[in-house]
Chain A
Amino acid sequence: MVSINKVFYILLFVSLNIYASPEDDLADFQNYFKNKFPNTEFSDYKNGVYSIDSSSREQWESIEEFPPYEINIEQGEELFNVPFKNGNTYASCFRNNGIGIRQNYPYFDEDKDEIITLELAINNCRKKNGEKPLSYYKGGPMADISAYMAYTSRGKIIDIEIPNYKAEEAYESGKKLYFTKVGQLNFSCADCHVYYPGTKLRADITSPAIGHPTHFPVYRSRAGRMVTLHERFAGCLNRVRAKPFKAQQDEYKNLEYFLTYMSNGLEINGPGSRK
């Protein structure tokens, strides 16, 4: 039984590595999960581990009745609406005044040839208006603003585009990292989230890869504060005893690009609550 699975996994790995288009990858990737969890509605993957585990889902639903991140959304809204010293606002930096746009991130900026994530765009906006950048770590105003912007985008469908060859390179780079074993424990992201989702890792249950970026930033009860996606990437790398990259470093941006593309078709439901 184990060896048949291993062959399947190797075939999946190989098929995703042979030059297939991102569209082919997307179909393969999402079909893989649909087959693995036939009782899960596709749209429910936005709820991460709670889409595949009922007992933790019940507790999560209880928290969601009145989630702690409501405080952060309110704080984020206030911060978002305070003008910079030069009189401009965050709204001036974004399409639609920054409301209901989270599903468009990350995107490949064809002029700058770089991936722009939402958090990076927030700091770019600050820089453009003569303000100091906000930290991407340990919650704080960056996570609050990101939470507010995610909240205004709830229900919007993720539809990340790969507009040109350079963007595709970034996507491929992110994909490669996703499947590369790293750290002392020699795990790849795929090990927990593609090959063995729904299994127990000590007290945790591994969540499926599709749906991961839909609900960030998250309020982590363990930390008692908001956590952004790149901080979570760093957390995972620390856990496999690999040296984490810095938030908004290329490796993470490419990873976020790949991961979000793989969630195309799912809706934004951030911010989320997690243990």
Chain B
Amino acid sequence: MNRRNFLKNSLMTAVTLTTLSGFLIKPKSVFAAWPKTSFDITNLDESIKSVYGHNDLSETTKVKLKAPDIAENGAIVPINVKTALKNVESIMIFVENNPQPLSSGYNLTSKSLPIIGTRIKMGKTSKIIAAVKSEGKVFSASKEVKVTIGGCGG
């Protein structure tokens, strides 16, 4: 699968990063630059569509999403995604009830193994969706993470 064709077909907008002094610091990369449009979208379905061109996700047990049942703190929720699927191009993490559902995207290369982890902010209880693109198809796994607030911890 030609990566350049994939980029042409995607709806990711190219954004040039410039400093105030006009110094161009966009990295030389085979991947499209930061997808501003996708990160700005406030609706989950539209967010997914903006990334893949459709929102036809196939739930599968081959995608493993690890997230707590109840987040100890919504500011720092550990998330891990791995999959047995082959030729994974990208992994995206969506948080349904966040102001902007797309939290992050992981663009893999032929050297990558499809295993990633990070810590995200969640505004409130929400379904987390891990979407994995493999050989042209998008697979997913989801989990509801409860976020509670209040208490003596402040």
Q: Residues of A with Cβ closer than 8 Å to B?
A: 55-56, 58-60, 62-63, 192, 200-204, 206, 221-222, 224, 235-236, 238-240, 274-275
Q: Please state if B73 and A222 are interface contacts (CB–CB under 8 Å).
A: yes
Number of A-B contacts (CB under 8 A): 53
Q: List 10 A-B contacts (CB under 8 A).
A: A55-B68, A55-B70, A58-B68, A63-B78, A201-B151, A202-B149, A222-B153, A239-B154, A275-B73, A275-B76
Question: What DSSP secondary structure best describes chain B's contact surface?
Answer: loop
How far, in Å, is A237 (CB) from chain B's closest CB? 11
Answer whether A236 and B152 are a contact pair too, CB < 8 Å, given A59-B68, A59-B71: yes
Answer whether A201 and B152 are a contact pair too, CB < 8 Å, given A59-B68, A62-B78, A63-B78: yes
Answer whether A222 and B68 are a contact pair too, CB < 8 Å, given A192-B152, A239-B152: no
Task: Chain B residues near A59: list those with CB within 8 A.
Answer: 68, 71-72, 77-78
How far, in Å, is B49 (CB) from chain A's closest CB? 32
Quick check: is B116 within 8 A (CB to CB) of the other chain? no
How far, in Å, is B74 (CB) from chain A's closest CB? 9
Quick check: is B56 within 8 A (CB to CB) of the other chain? no
Answer whether A235 and B68 are a contact pair too, CB < 8 Å, given A202-B148, A203-B149, A222-B73: no
Q: Which of B130-154 contact A (CB under 8 A)?
A: 148-154
Beyond the given A202-B148, A204-B152, A204-B153, please list 8 additional residue pairs across the A-B interface where CB-CB is below 8 A.
A60-B72, A202-B149, A202-B150, A203-B151, A204-B151, A222-B153, A274-B153, A275-B153
> A229–B104 Cα gap in the complex (Å)?
35
User: Of all chain A residues, which has the CB nearest B149?
Assistant: A203
Q: Please state if A63 and B76 are interface contacts (CB–CB under 8 Å).
A: yes
How far, in Å, is B152 (CB) from chain A's closest CB? 5
Q: Which of B119, B151, B153 has the most CB of A within 10 A?
A: B153
- 10 A-B pairs closest in CB distance: A204-B151, A275-B73, A203-B148, A202-B151, A202-B150, A62-B78, A221-B76, A203-B151, A204-B153, A56-B72
Task: Chain B residues near A239: list those with CB within 8 A.
Answer: 152, 154
> A63–B78 Cα gap in the complex (Å)?
7
Task: From A192, A222, A235, give the contact of B75 (CB < 8 A).
Answer: A222
How far, in Å, is B30 (CB) from chain A's closest CB? 28
How far, in Å, is A102 (CB) from chain B's closest CB? 24
Q: Which of B90-116 contact A (CB under 8 A)?
A: none
User: Of all chain A residues, which has the CB nearest B69?
Assistant: A55
Q: Which of B36-92 contact A (CB under 8 A)?
A: 68-73, 75-78
Q: Which of A60, A192, A202, A235 has the most CB of B within 10 A?
A: A202
Q: Please state if A235 and B149 are interface contacts (CB–CB under 8 Å).
A: no
Task: Chain A residues near B77: list those with CB within 8 A.
Answer: 59
> A56–B149 Cα gap in the complex (Å)?
14
How far, in Å, is A176 (CB) from chain B's closest CB? 21
Task: Chain A residues near B149: list those with CB within 8 A.
Answer: 202-203
Task: Chain A residues near B154: list those with CB within 8 A.
Answer: 222, 235, 238-239
User: Of all chain B residues, which has the CB nearest A187?
Assistant: B152
> A60–B68 Cα gap in the complex (Å)?
11
> A81–B33 Cα gap in the complex (Å)?
41
Task: Chain A residues near B152: list those with CB within 8 A.
Answer: 192, 201-202, 204, 206, 236, 239-240
> A150–B28 Cα gap in the complex (Å)?
43
Task: From A58, A63, A200, A224, give the contact of B119 (CB < 8 A).
Answer: A63
Q: Please state if B78 and A224 are interface contacts (CB–CB under 8 Å).
A: no
Answer whether A203 and B150 are a contact pair too, CB < 8 Å, given A59-B78, A63-B78: yes
> A238–B152 Cα gap in the complex (Å)?
9
